[in-house]
């Protein structure tokens, strides 16, 4: 019976997969199928991406709309989605699941199939991968220990040397990867996810493309190489199929701005609340349409601003695009969404893509969340006995992982997801016959112009690139 494993390298840019720095990833890509046009979602933040990986849906359906999203019942509050205790409390307050679309874990449980998650990400991130692990009697093991592990994970944890919770992100990533290799890989479940928090963490705190980041990437690649070597040498070689992905890319911080400080200079915006980042949102009192329009219009006049989006139901000011074009138009989203100005300039570390940032990270650090090319381009690879080798030029993305897993496992449900089955990669499946097309939204006014590009393949769509006055 076929099994499926997804291994995620958080924040890995496609141009960082190279024979000299990631030889095991490069070899896996050469032997399997690589997707040249793989894309993330908006906002291109980890927990939002995690929810899209878990559900095969965009944020407008799953409802996790930002790493720090507006609080559903507090008009001036926000929710830190990186903390499992906060998310559990939010579900209790809502009296409903955080994710409004079923997860891959739910679908396997309903089919009587087993599923496991091994994660070195934050406790909130691990929760999002399988919020109902205990109800489904599924294994979740967190490198942060018992707090984010399921009952079955805690049982396993008791038999292991403790995780390096006080250590670095790469040490936690190596621990979770080697634990998976030793304890799970010899007899893998029907489906599993192994999520490594590197090279993302070091990009943020050690610098994007810095020697420190390349060093941790080599270590993460070596941990991956140990898994692949065991897989290729073991009896599970014919059964287990492996997907490798990143959830988003990274741009280099070129400068910083405080949107809240800029907004506070105007008395009419005194009650608005800014949710900052590389992309952000503005909470507007009472969600009044005229106030929303005024904030959106003001943003288009700021030279640090990239894109600006507002709800479709209001009279959009000149230059502002409809929020629905982002595929993240959910009732939980901030009424005004924006990105900070990005460009394709090459950083001092030699990586294209720089961006302004509203937060505590320094210049030269990596950041993500917006719509730039550097942030939306992702790694996506498939390998295994039923996988055709080669290069796919069809559009693809993180929303396609869950439906592809279901197709490989012979289970229903892919047709109800936003993503597509990556059929061109699987023996016995017909490649897509629809032509790849592109579609654009453009808006301008008062010297400001923006453009959002999307890719389309039949009924399926992916965000391609967005920003201010793209050429």
Q: Does domain 3-249+377-425 match CATH 3.40.720.10? A: yes
Q: Is 150 left (phi over 0), alpha (psi -120 to 50) or beta?
A: beta
pLDDT of residue 165: 76
- Find the DSSP H helices in 277-353: 289-300
* pLDDT tier, 1 (very low <50, low <70, confident <90, very high otherwise): confident
Spatial distance between the Cα atoms of 4 and 443, rounded to a whole number of angstroms: 43
pLDDT at 469: 80
CB neighbours of residue 360 within 10 Å: 8
pLDDT at residue 78 in the model: 92
pLDDT, tens digit (0-9, with 9 covering 90-100), for 120-148: 999 999 999 999 999 999 999 999 999 99
Q: Alpha-carbon distance 44 to 327, whole Å?
A: 12
pLDDT tens digit sequence for 192-249:
999 999 999 999 999 999 999 999 999 999 999 999 999 999 999 999 999 999 999 9
Residue 47 has pLDDT above 90, yes or no: yes
Q: What is the 3-state secondary structure (H, E, C) of 214-273?
A: HHHHHHHHHHHHHHHHHHHHCHHHCCEEEEEECCCCCEEEEEECCHHHHHHCCHHHCCCE
CA distance linking residue 162 with residue 181, whole number of Å: 16
The pLDDT, as a whole number, for residue 453 is 97
Per-residue pLDDT, 470: 59
Pairwise CA distance, residues 53 & 400, whole Å: 8
Name the band, by pLDDT with cuts 50, 70 and 90, for residue 19: very high
Mean local confidence (pLDDT), 382-403? 98
Give just the sign of the alpha carbon dihedral 455, 383, 122, 222: negative
Instruction: Name the nearest CA neighbour of 320 among 432, 213, 148, 448.
Output: 448
Question: What does the pLDDT average to over 307-314?
Answer: 94
Inter-CA distances, 194 with 9, 175, 246, 267, 344, Å? 9, 11, 12, 49, 32
Q: What is the pLDDT of residues 259-268, one digit of tens each?
A: 999 999 999 9
Given a cut of 80, whether residue 471 has pLDDT beyond it is no
Tens digits of residue pLDDT in 173-199: 999 999 999 999 999 999 999 999 999
Whether the CB-CB separation of 211 and 165 falls below 8 Å is answered with no
pLDDT of residue 102: 98
Counting Cβ atoms within 10 Å, is residue 367 exposed (0-12), middle (13-18) or buried (19+)? buried
Residue 202 host element (H or E): helix 200-206
Residue 259 has what pLDDT? Answer: 97
- The model carries a pTM of 0.97
Contact 99, 91 (CB under 8 A): no
Per-position DSSP letters for 86-110, written without gaps between them: HHHHHHHHHTS-S-SS--HHHHHHH
Contact 42, 326 (CB under 8 A): yes
Place of tokens 């279901």: 406
User: Counting runs of H as helices and runs of E as strands, what totals does the chain give?
Assistant: 14, 22
DSSP E strands: which ranges in 73-222?
78-80, 115-119, 139-142, 191-196
- Is residue 304 within 8 A of residue 317, CB to CB? The reply is no
Mean pLDDT of the chain: 96
Q: Which of 385, 133, 365 is nearest to 237 (CA)?
A: 385
Residue 151 pLDDT greater than 70, yes or no: yes
Identify the pLDDT of residue 74: 86
* Cα–Cα dist 162/76, whole Å: 40
Contacts of 15 (CB under 8 A, 6+ apart): 351, 352
Is residue 128 within 8 A of residue 81, CB to CB? The reply is yes
Asked if pLDDT for residue 166 goes beyond 80, the answer is no
* Predicted pLDDT of residue 76: 85
Lowest average pLDDT, out of 99-103, 105-109, 313-317, 418-422, goes to: 313-317
Question: Which residues of the chain form CATH 3.40.720.10?
Answer: 3-249+377-425
With beta carbons less than 8 A apart as the criterion, state whether 349 and 374 touch.
no
Indicate the pLDDT class of residue 80, thresholds 50, 70 and 90: very high
């Amino acid at each position: 019976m076929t099994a499926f494993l997804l291994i995620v390298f958080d924040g890995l840019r496609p141009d960082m997969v190279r024979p000299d720095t990631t030889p095991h990833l490069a070899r896996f890509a050469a032997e399997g199928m690589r997707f040249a046009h793989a894309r993330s979602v908006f906002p291109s933040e980890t927990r939002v991406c995690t929810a899209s990986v878990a559900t095969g849906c965009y944020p407008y359906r799953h409802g996790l709309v930002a790493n720090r999203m507006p609080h559903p019942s507090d008009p001036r509050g926000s929710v830190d989605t990186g903390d499992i205790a906060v998310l559990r409390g939010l579900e209790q307050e809502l009296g409903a699941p955080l994710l409004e679309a079923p997860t891959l874990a739910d679908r396997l449980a309903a089919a009587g199939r087993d599923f496991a998650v091994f994660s070195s990400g934050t406790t909130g991130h691990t929760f999002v991968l399988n919020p109902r692990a205990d109800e489904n009697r599924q294994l979740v093991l967190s490198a942060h220990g018992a707090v984010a592990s399921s009952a079955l994970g805690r049982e396993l944890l008791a038999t292991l040397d403790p995780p390096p919770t006080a250590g670095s992100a790469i040490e936690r990533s190596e621990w979770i990867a080697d634990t998976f290799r030793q304890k799970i890989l010899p007899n893998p479940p029907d489906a599993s996810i192994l999520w490594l928090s590197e090279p993302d963490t070091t990009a943020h705190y050690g610098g994007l493309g810095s020697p420190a980041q390349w060093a941790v990437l080599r270590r993460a690649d070596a941990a991956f190489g140990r898994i692949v070597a065991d897989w290729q040498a073991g009896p599970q070689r014919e059964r287990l199929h492996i997907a490798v992905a990143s959830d988003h890319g990274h741009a280099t911080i070129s400068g910083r701005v405080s949107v809240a400080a800029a907004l506070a200079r105007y008395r009419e915006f005194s009650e608005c609340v800014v949710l900052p980042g590389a992309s952000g949102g503005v909470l507007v009192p009472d969600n009044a349409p005229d106030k929303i329009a005024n904030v959106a219009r003001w943003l288009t006049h700021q030279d640090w601003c990239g894109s600006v989006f507002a709800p479709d139901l209001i009279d959009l000011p000149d230059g502002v695009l409809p929020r629905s074009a982002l595929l993240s138009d959910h009732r939980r989203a901030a009424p005004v969404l924006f990105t900070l100005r990005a460009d394709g300039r090459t950083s001092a570390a030699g990586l294209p893509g720089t961006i302004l940032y509203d937060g505590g990270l320094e210049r030269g650090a990596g950041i993500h969340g917006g719509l730039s090319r550097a942030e939306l381009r992702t790694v996506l690879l498939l390998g295994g006995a039923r996988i055709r080798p080669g290069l796919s030029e069809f559009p693809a993305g993180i929303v396609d992982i869950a439906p592809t897993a279901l197709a490989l496992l012979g289970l229903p449900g892919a047709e109800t997801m936003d993503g597509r089955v990556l059929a061109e990669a699987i023996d016995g499946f017909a490649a897509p016959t629809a032509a790849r097309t592109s579609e654009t939204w453009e808006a301008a006014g008062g010297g400001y112009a923006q453009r959002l590009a999307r890719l389309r393949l039949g009924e399926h769509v992916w965000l391609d690139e967005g920003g201010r006055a793209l050429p």
